[in-house]
């Protein structure tokens, strides 16, 4: 994964662009991934100044994950942008979500983990096949099995313990 290591010490201050094309081989370096396949381009703009590196990531392509409803593979389109800051500080054990602290002696940074995390963040929480012409694109056999065990609670009355709360919400 040397291609994702950026030697920032030798770079002049200003903007620098890096482009990557990701495929399934990129995922082999990360354990326990929900992502089964990826076909994505990643554009990275590095803005460098004296003690700060600003990385602007733009991910565009598709990821293959498991459908939450039918468990078949689904290809999801991704168009995601994020920013990560890297600071050179003499401070140890500081962690922030969008800031990476580098030692003043560091001369390079590996952005592969950041790219992977951006892929994970870009995936929708609900991963299901789309509905086309009023019909789900999920596996019909699995939908039959799900419907077989579907329990409808239309005849049940709400728990009376919630009545007071419902009254308060309605006022």
Task: Name the helix (H) or strand (E) containing 69.
Answer: none
Q: Is the pLDDT of residue 90 over 80?
A: no
User: Would you say 64 and 36 are in contact if contact means Cβ atoms under 8 Å apart?
Assistant: yes
- Across 68-161, the runs of DSSP E, i.e. the strands, are 73-88, 99-102, 109-110, 131-132, 135-136
Q: What is the pLDDT of residue 146?
A: 87
DSSP code string of 11-35: SPSEEEEEEEEE-HHHHTTSSS-S-
Instruction: Output DSSP code: residue 156.
Output: P
Q: Which of 111, 104, 60 is nearest to 85 (CA)?
A: 111
pLDDT > 70 fraction of the chain, expressed in percent and rounded: 90
Q: What is the mean pLDDT of the chain?
A: 88
CA-to-CA distance for 88 and 108, rounded, in angstroms? 11
Ranking 44-58, 78-92, 141-155 by mean pLDDT, the lowest is 141-155
CA-to-CA distance for 164 and 170, rounded, in angstroms? 10
What confidence tens digit (pLDDT) does each residue in 110-147 have? 999 999 999 999 999 999 998 888 888 999 999 888 88
Q: Between 6 and 167, where is the model more confident?
A: 6
What confidence tens digit (pLDDT) does each residue in 57-88 have? 999 999 999 999 999 999 999 999 999 999 88
User: Residues near 132 by Cβ (< 8 Å), separated by ≥ 6?
Assistant: none
Residue 161 — pLDDT band, cuts 50, 70, 90?
A: confident
Beta bridge partners of 109: 6
Q: Is the pLDDT of residue 154 over 70?
A: no
- Backbone φ and ψ of 46, nearest 5°: -105, 120
Q: Is the pLDDT of residue 26 over 70?
A: yes
Q: What is the pLDDT of residue 164?
A: 80
Q: What is the pLDDT of residue 81?
A: 97
Handedness of CA 19, 24, 25, 26 (dihedral sign): positive
Q: What is the pLDDT of residue 170?
A: 79
- Backbone φ and ψ of 3, nearest 5°: -65, -20
CA-to-CA distance for 94 and 18, rounded, in angstroms? 27
């Amino acid at each position: 994964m040397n291609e994702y290591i950026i030697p920032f010490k030798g770079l002049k201050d200003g903007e620098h662009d890096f482009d990557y094309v990701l495929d399934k081989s990129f995922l082999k370096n990360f354990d326990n991934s929900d992502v089964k396949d990826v076909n994505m381009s990643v554009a990275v703009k590095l803005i460098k100044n004296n003690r700060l590196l600003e990385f602007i990531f733009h991910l565009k392509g598709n990821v293959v994950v498991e459908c939450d409803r039918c468990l078949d593979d689904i290809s999801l389109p991704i168009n995601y942008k994020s920013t990560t800051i890297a600071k050179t500080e003499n401070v140890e054990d500081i962690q922030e979500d969008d800031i990476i602290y580098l030692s003043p002696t560091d001369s390079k940074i590996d952005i592969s983990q950041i790219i992977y995390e951006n892929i994970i963040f870009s995936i929708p929480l609900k991963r299901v096949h789309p509905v086309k012409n009023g019909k789900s694109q999920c596996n019909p056999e699995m939908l039959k099995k799900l419907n077989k065990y579907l329990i409808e609670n239309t005849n049940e009355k709400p728990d009376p313990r919630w009545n007071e709360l419902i009254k308060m919400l309605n006022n």
